[in-house]
Amino acid sequence: MSVFSEIFSWWGGNSWSNRIYTAFRGKLVGTDSAGNRYYVQSRGVGPLGVPRRWVIYKNLAEASKVPPEWHGWLHYMVDTPPTQDGYVPWPWEKAHQMNMTGTEGAYRPPGSILATGKRPAATGDYQSWRPPAEGAE
Give pLDDT, residue 39.
93
Distant-in-sequence, close-in-space partners of 4: CB < 8 Å, separation ≥ 6: none
The pTM of this model reads: 0.65
Give pLDDT, residue 114.
75
The low-confidence residues of the chain, meaning pLDDT below 50, are none
Give pLDDT, residue 29.
92
Give pLDDT, residue 1.
52
What is the average pLDDT score of the chain?
Answer: 80
Residue 106 — φ and ψ, nearest 5°? -65, 150
CA-to-CA distance for 101 and 64, rounded, in angstroms? 11
- Residue 51 backbone zone (phi > 0: left; psi -120 to 50: alpha; other: beta): beta
The amino acid occupying position 16 is W
